[in-house]
Amino acid sequence: MHGWDIRSKLELEAHLEPESFSTFVEMFTGPFGWFRWILVPGMQRSTPVRYRFEVMGPVSLRRDLVVEGHAARLEPVTAAPAHVTFCCAMEPFVLLLYGCLPLPDAIAAGHMTAEGATELIPTFAQWFRGM
pLDDT digits (tens, 9 = 90+) for 32-42: 555 554 555 56
Average pLDDT over residues 88-100: 85
Lowest mean pLDDT among 14-23, 49-58, 59-68, 91-100: 14-23
Q: What is the mean pLDDT of the chain?
A: 78
H or E element at residue 73: strand 71-76
For residue 85, pLDDT over 80 is answered with yes
- Residue 72 Cα distances to 2, 10, 40, 45, angstroms: 27, 36, 11, 10
Dihedral sign, Cα of residue 114, residue 115, residue 117, residue 118: positive
| Element counts in the chain: helices (H) and strands (E) | 5, 5
Q: How crowded is the C-beta side of 93, counted as CA atoms within 13 Å? A: 30
Lowest mean pLDDT among 15-19, 63-67, 78-82, 96-100: 15-19
Q: How is the beta sheet containing 84-89 ordered, strand by strand?
A: 71-76, 61-69, 45-56, 84-89, 112-116
For residue 123, pLDDT over 90 is answered with no
Q: State residue 26 phi and psi, 5-degree precision.
A: -60, -35
User: pLDDT exceeding 90 applies to what percent of the chain?
Assistant: 25
pLDDT digits (tens, 9 = 90+) for 46-64: 788 899 999 987 778 898 8
Residue with the larger pLDDT of the pair 131 and 67: 67
Q: Which amino acid is at 13?
A: E
